[in-house]
Structure 1
Amino acid sequence: MTSARPKRPVSDLPGDPARLHLHYGHGHPATPYDYQDTLEPWHVAVTFGTGDEEWEEEEEDSDSPAPAAAGTRIGHLVLWRLRDYTGDNRWEVADAESGDLEVIAAAVLGRSGRTEYNAWFEKAITQPVGDLLILDRVTLDKAWRGFGLGPFLAGEAIRRLSGGCCAVAAYPAMGEYPEDREQVTEAYRRQAKKKIAALWESIGFQPFRRGVWLLDTALQAPEELMFARRDDLHALSAAFQQSRSL
């Protein structure tokens, strides 16, 4: 699948997107309790650089947005690892955390919710044995939206966190709502979900069931798409640098 052109002119970018940095975080007590052995939260902070770089000052253009300061946090991702073979009822674990996670668990697990994936999942995934990585949220500051950065960042995070997982699941849903809530009709929701799903398709997700999308980690296509998104980022960076040199 080819990538879409950025929806906004590259001159609107607050900084060179090639300077974005991902920071991975996960914490747990020495003795896990409740469902902590079964559901692992992973938080990925996205910053513009790390804050300790020595960059050349970019020339400011009165028509361009003010450049972002090094180390500025510009977004974050939330992922979950739903572990297999822990003895917990994985559906109950997901349901206790959030409605979106429950939707995903109900779509992929067997009736017991403990160890087995259902027949639909086993048919859709090449090697349906192991943990499930869930892509829950990708959030960017408004100044950085509209340039295709969300799929790129998600693909990079998935590459680093999906080891030992047979699949990655996502449930396209609205993360933010307009100020005028009356705009949020059923048609508005469908269109929003369609746009989000198209972004996830660009890194290898495929429609599964009940609104859930899956990425098969055993396939070569997702990795090829991830490298394609890296190429997109390099092209966006080059276009940004060119726009600042004019």
Structure 2
Amino acid sequence: MMKISRALLLSAALTLPLAACGKKQEEDFGQKVRAYLLEHPEVIEEAVVKLQQNKQAAAAEGAKTMLAKHRQQLEHDPRDFVANPGGKHTVVEFFDYRCGYCKVSAPEVVKLIRENPDVRFVFKEFPIFGAESNLAAEVALSPAGKPKNLELFERFMGEKALDEAAIDRHLRAVGVDPAAARSGGSTAEVKQHIADTRTLAMALGIEGTPAFIVGDRMIPGADMAALRAAIAEVKTGKLKTPGSPELDKG
């Protein structure tokens, strides 16, 4: 409480109309503030922490607004692959097959899919790690690859160095002709799908992968404990989904 009081007093002092003071008074005031801060440096740290908290709170509120605005595109783009399509609740993941953190989280994502048949998992292909990432996304979204999407997800994520040869090898392993997948994935429609996902990620402020969205909550990184908690909360109704047609009707 003492730290907070000092910080508030300092803040009030700094907002005094110095224009009403003469030059000598202004210099004296500046020296007193400097002396106080040197004697109580923890106040500066407190102010920085508070500023960061305010920024984070503002960003979270902004994210909620954007999530509601783009809810339909996030959860119901018919071009996306969806696991457990009949589920009542929805998790969205933006990912890249060559992202190390995506690879770490992938086994847990697959486990969550199997443990929660009442939760839809929407996969947003967001390739940001170069040509191989783009190729992997394209073949996965191709007409030949899409029926095997979850199998390819597991295989691509499990590959330490996902290069072109590995991509073709995994396609063959699940019964997909690499040539057909490459041809189907190089169409203007698939490229536009990936471009639209990239635009959506930018609109939501997503700069890295993985990024999970559950209800009105965005979970950056491979924080699987937070993802599990969010799924549990959305099931109990503690975590809402603003912008959802189902909730709007209620």
Larger helix fraction of residues: 2
Report the TM-score, using the length of structure 1 for normalisation.
0.25
More strand by share: 1
Larger Rg: 2
